[in-house]
Amino acid sequence: LAKTEVSPTFKKPTADHPIRICWNENPLGMSPKGQAAAREMIGQGNLYPFMEMKTLQKMLADKHGVAPECVLLSAGATQGIVAAFGALATPDTQLVIPELTFSAGEEAAIDNSMKKITKVKMTKDWQIDLEAMKKAVADYDGPSIVYFVNPNNPTGAICKADAVEAWIKSKPAKTMFLMDEAYAEFASDPTFRSVSPLIKDGADNIVLLKTFSKLFAMAGMRVGWSVSTPAIIKKMGEKIANNNLTGASVSAAIASMKDDKFMELSRASNEAARKILLQTLDALKLDYVPSNTNFVFHKLNVPLADYQKRMKDAGIWVGRAFPPADEYCRCSLGTPEQMAYVAQVMLDLGKKGLI
Ligand code: PLP
């Protein structure tokens, strides 16, 4: 595992080479096996990646225990979200989202002329208010799409699986659940579970959205996938281009899925980095939302814009504003060594009352 202290050889960040802890990227870089596979595929850049896409689709189908027709590959989960809304939205479909969540759902709803967007207030401690989400669906006569990010972004919080599954299994009329589990592999709370087994068991009201961007550190390669019924996956596929992925990206994904060691490293590195940041926040007496992701949503005692600027001056890019959580900063997790460095900067600002 990478160093958990700042070593003498650590290269301090600069304006040109900042520590990017603003976009929930994985700081490790792609699996070495994934990198090698991508490099090799570049030499075959003249060929369409038909076979590779089929192979990846089958591997993902096996992982979820479903048929290949239940899996759609996409250019990142973002394109999966676009495809899902394209397939399922009508102008009278209501979108139900927590007021603080990943923006792509709302953007896709607007692009599909969905007129009713219901944003459900968070609880006091920035959790998703499941009962209020349910009420928003129940109170609307027309169809609803629930875009549900679990664990959530930007809060990093999970919703308990028992409650989420009970709601989905109750099959609210004319309601589809788009379950975005981009960060699921980083969750350590035992009450979290993926909805994947529900789809395997035949649920027809779920689209599961997944990505290679986070655990697999492949955000720049743009590979995601969706899992649902064959009928929904077919409709979603009609909304995006065929052969939408590059051979290099798909080959990297295939190789990365076989690299158990990298997956373990990715999780362990994230845990170690998270521990350093949480210890620092505890030392600074700054509240935070318990994190089940590769970022932490924490309180500030100073305006975010001022803090962002001070961190930027130190070569560290932290997250943007997420209203209405105006006193909070979303800090993604770098490597443990980077976070040890970030901790020094944060503690230093703390001494000056600037965090
Ligand atoms: N879903 C969530 C919840 C995210 O936070 C993000 C990106 O940060 C994405 C999807 C986008 O993933 P991708 O890079 O696969 O498009």
| Structure confidence by residue, pLDDT tens digits, 215-233 | 999 999 999 999 999 999 9
Contact 149, 182 (CB under 8 A): yes
Q: pLDDT, tens digit, for every residue of 93-131?
A: 999 999 999 999 999 999 999 999 999 999 999 999 999
For residue 180, the CA-to-ligand 1 centroid distance in Å is 8
Q: Does residue 211 line the site of ligand 1, with CB under 6 A?
A: yes
Q: How confident is the model at residue 86 (pLDDT cuts 50, 70, 90)?
A: very high
Give the Å distance between the CA of 254 and the centre of ligand 1.
Answer: 19
Amino acid in the structure at residue 148: F
Q: Where are the alpha helices (DSSP H) in 143-296?
A: 161-169, 196-200, 230-237, 247-257, 260-283
For 97-141, give the DSSP string.
EESSS-THHHHHHHHTT--EEEEEPPPTTS---HHHHHHHHHT-S
Q: Where in the chain is the domain with CATH 3.40.640.10?
A: 32-257
Give the amino acid at 210: K
Pocket lining: 182 vs ligand 1, CB cutoff 6 Å = yes
Structure tokens at 82: 């676009």
Note the pLDDT of residue 2: 64
Q: What is the crossing angle of helices 230-237 and 76-88, to 10°?
A: 100
Q: Is the pLDDT of residue 32 over 90?
A: yes
Predicted confidence at residue 233, as pLDDT, reads 98
Cα(52) to ligand 1 centroid in Å equals: 23
Strands 328-332 and 295-299: antiparallel
Cis peptide before 324 (omega within 30 of 0): yes
Mean pLDDT of the chain: 97
The whole-number pLDDT of residue 1 equals: 57
> Looking at the predicted complex, does its ipTM rise above 0.90?
yes
Residue 97 bridge partners (DSSP): 119
The token duo for 110 is 């607007």
- What pLDDT, in 10s, does the model give residues 137-194? 999 999 999 999 999 999 999 999 999 999 999 999 999 999 999 999 999 999 999 9
CATH 3.90.1150.10 domain span(s) along the chain: 19-30+261-351
Q: Which of 186, 214, 221, 225 to mutate to test the pocket of ligand 1 (most atoms within 8 A of CB)?
A: 214
* Whole-number Cα distances in Å, 9 to 13, 14, 74: 12, 15, 40
In the chain, % of residues over pLDDT 70: 99
- Is any atom of ligand 1 closer than 6 Å to the C-beta of 224? yes
Cα 102 to ligand 1 centre (Å): 8
Q: Residue 265's CB: how many other CB atoms inside 10 A? A: 16
Q: In 3-state terms, what secondary structure has residue 320?
A: coil
Give, in words, the CATH class of 19-30+261-351: alpha beta
Domain 32-257 falls under CATH 3.40.640.10: yes
Q: Does a cis peptide bond (omega within 30 degrees of 0) precede residue 98?
A: no
Q: Which helix (H) or strand (E) holds 84?
A: helix 76-88
What is the sign, positive or negative, of the torsion defined by CA atoms of 58, 59, 62, 64?
negative
Long-range contacts of 68-71 (CB under 8 A, 24+ apart): 69/230, 69/233, 69/234, 70/199, 70/227, 70/228, 70/229, 70/230, 70/233, 71/225, 71/226, 71/227, 71/233
Using a 6 Å cutoff on CB, does residue 180 contact ligand 1? yes
Residue 284 has pLDDT above 80, yes or no: yes
Q: Torsions phi, psi of 112, nearest 5?
A: -100, 20
CA angle 280, 282, 283 (to 5 degrees): 65
CA of 19 to the centre of ligand 1 (A): 20
Question: Of all protein residues, whose CA lies closest to atom 12 belonging to ligand 1?
Answer: 77
Residue 3 — very low, low, confident or very high, per pLDDT cuts 50/70/90?
confident
- What is the reported pLDDT for 30? 97
* pLDDT tens, residue by residue, 240-268: 999 899 999 999 999 999 999 999 999 99
Rounded-to-integer distance, Cα 145 and Cα 174, Å? 9
**Spacing, Cα 214 to ligand 1 middle (Å):** 8
Measured between alpha carbons, how far is 342 from 334 in angstroms, rounded to an integer?
9
Exposed / middle / buried, residue 238 (Cβ in 10 Å: 0-12, 13-18, 19+) = exposed
The phi-psi region of residue 174 (left if phi > 0; otherwise alpha if psi is between -120 and 50; otherwise beta) is: left
